[in-house]
Amino acid sequence: MKSISFCLSPQIIVFSLIALAGCFLPGNQAPAQTISVKQNLGIPIIDISDNSEDTVPDIELEDQFKKKVSHNFPKDKWSVIFVAGRKGADQIEPWAKAIYEGYGDSVEQIGVADVSTVPAPIRGLIRAVFRKTVDYPILMDWEGKVTQKLGYKSGLVRLFVVSPSGTIQFEVDGPLTKSRKEQLFGHLPMPTQTD
């Protein structure tokens, strides 16, 4: 059994720097969209699982190492896409840890950073901090095109549960709570047990 520990999260460090850099410019707002918002114990849950027309756009962005990374569907496994900007970055680690503990590598976790508000003169610095603190690819959305297509609005982390075909099965905004975790896990297939 794999053991995983989380101390000081590289995501929190990196996204905190984005937050600082993003304070210089107003955040880009995604166009309004119609979605279903349900109340569960006073917590808004965005559930679009009944709408099979919502699919993830092809994603091709550079990561912090300036390597082009593509995520195209269909894939051979389920995915959870995290999108966060200057606000909401500190909400990522608990989600990522919970998903990894529940599913291991059977669910692909994809991080997209909304860095569209970072001024051009300090983008290299932000990229360097990402390189030093995060070993896995974080897709850098400098123009905000992918985050807009996904309907991301700054302020909270947004998670998308995506089927292997690319259909968005569930979306949720905000920090990890017991209720949100149950909702998200309810939209992923049961993890396979290996003994």
Position 19 in a domain: no
20's CB contacts (< 8 A; 6+ apart) are 86
Position 48 in a domain: yes
Its pTM stands at: 0.71
Distance from C-alpha of 69 to C-alpha of 55, rounded to nearest angstrom: 19
What's the pLDDT at 171? 94
Position 26 in a domain: no
What's the pLDDT at 193? 57
What's the pLDDT at 151? 87
Position 65 in a domain: yes
What's the pLDDT at 66? 94
Position 120 in a domain: yes
The residue to which tokens 């569209």 are assigned:
116
Position 15 in a domain: no
Position 13 in a domain: no
Mean pLDDT, consecutive 10-residue segments, the chain of 195 residues? 45 46 40 36 41 78 94 94 87 92 94 94 92 86 93 88 96 95 93 58
Domain count, the chain: 1
Task: Look up the domain containing 158 and give its range.
Answer: 37-185
Position 27 in a domain: no
10: tokens are: 């590289």
**What is the domain-level CATH number for residue 135?**
3.40.30.10
